[in-house]
Structure 1
């Protein structure tokens, strides 16, 4: 009688081992892949207003110091009627022209969610403001960092209001009226008339919360399955 019960128990243990072993393997393998959840950061462009910068390379220097990722958003805070925001192609960005604009926003402030990777170009095509430096290129990465990228360099503590405005009678004289051959890139702008009030910019120290790496509930399942397997294999020794 005892030997029959022992044989039945051994058969039961073998069956349970055959069931639990693949289960543990299927749970353990995905755990080696870290799950990365990223909450986007909202940046106020230039850490100031979207206006004529103090130096022509001000916005370019600011943009190059920040790692933009899908899920982030940009706030272009400008005075309606005095400035605008135009998304253009690379050739027109270089020439400060907008003969074939991708998107035009004339009402500020504008919030632009970054929904796809790529390089996006923005200018203000009012008067000669673009030539004076009111232009910016944004490189968006489809990447979830596993470590904190270097913190952006501190922006100059300049006044958010423009120091001076050039005469409105000085228009931009385009070098060539031809339409650029480059096809417009898909616009990351969701709503051309987005007037939502901008949130507080989080450029400084924003990367501290960029990547959240961890394991999910699989660890608990693996522990439970492992304990059950050990009991089945070595229960007779306890």
Structure 2
């Protein structure tokens, strides 16, 4: 009876880990304590710098209605606080659909000039096994006990979870 309980626990743990890695996150910009306003400029910048964003994450803004807006812009418009040609105006939430930087500024020029703007950098996705260009050949041939290529961190992590689950049996 105890071994079937351990097997169930191992399977449940494995499924949980798989879903945890594949689920998209909805992220409140500035968390619950910081909203989109001029008084939060420094806190918003620190918030973005201390986070790792991935493709598929959804950013959602908390702001005072009627007092300000969020505008997605190009890097050039970000630097000059130009809202005349936005990528997206009146942003409430946005899905990060590519790697690289996303630029957001206040829709109120005076607020943007005071620093109410945000850069969010989305990490590049790790290539799937077999979908990347091989590295140049090594100068010396590898030894016969070299590890097999292609197992990334997530595959190694899953292998550890499975091994721990099996050890519990």
Q: TM-score by structure 1 length?
A: 0.42
Match of 1:140 among 100, 122, 125: 122
Separation in structure 2 between the aligned mates of residue 143 and residue 98 of structure 1, nearest angstrom: 30
Residues 73, 111 of structure 1: 8 Å contact kept: yes
In structure 1, what is the equivalent of residue 27 of structure 2? Answer: 43
In structure 1, what is the equivalent of residue 38 of structure 2? Answer: 52
C-alpha displacement at 1:69, in angstroms?
A: 0.5
Residues 50, 76 of structure 1: 8 Å contact kept: yes
What's the secondary structure of 2:110's corresponding residue? coil
Deviations 1:120-148 (A, max 9, x none): 1001121411122211011111336xxxx
Task: Count residues with an aligned counterpart.
Answer: 111
Q: Which has the higher helix share?
A: 2
Separation in structure 2 between the aligned mates of residue 58 and residue 95 of structure 1, nearest angstrom: 21
The residue correspondences of 1:204-219 to structure 2 (distance < 5 A) are: 213-214=157-158
In structure 1, what is the equivalent of residue 49 of structure 2? Answer: 64
Structure label with greater radius of gyration: 1
Residues 53, 133 of structure 1: 8 Å contact kept: no
What's the secondary structure of 2:64's corresponding residue? coil
Deviations 1:92-151 (A, max 9, x none): 111112122111016xxx22221211211001121411122211011111336xxxxxxx
Match of 1:130 among 99, 112, 121: 112
Separation in structure 2 between the aligned mates of residue 52 and residue 76 of structure 1, nearest angstrom: 14
What's the secondary structure of 2:38's corresponding residue? coil
Separation in structure 1 between the aligned mates of residue 39 and residue 101 of structure 2, nearest angstrom: 21
Taking a change above 3 Å as real, the CA distance of residues 115 and 127 of structure 1, as seen in their structure-2 partners, is closer
Q: Does 1:82 align with 2:64?
A: no
Separation in structure 2 between the aligned mates of residue 118 and residue 83 of structure 1, nearest angstrom: 26
Unmatched segments (≥5 aa) in structure 1: 1-34, 145-210, 216-238
Unmatched segments (≥5 aa) in structure 2: 1-17, 127-153, 160-169
Which contiguous aligned blocks of 4+ residues in structure 1 show a shift greater than 4 angstroms?
none
Residues 59, 133 of structure 1: 8 Å contact kept: no
C-alpha displacement at 1:91, in angstroms?
A: 1.2
The two structures, once aligned, show a CA RMSD in angstroms of: 2.4
What's the secondary structure of 2:35's corresponding residue? coil
In structure 2, what is the equivalent of residue 29 of structure 1? Answer: none
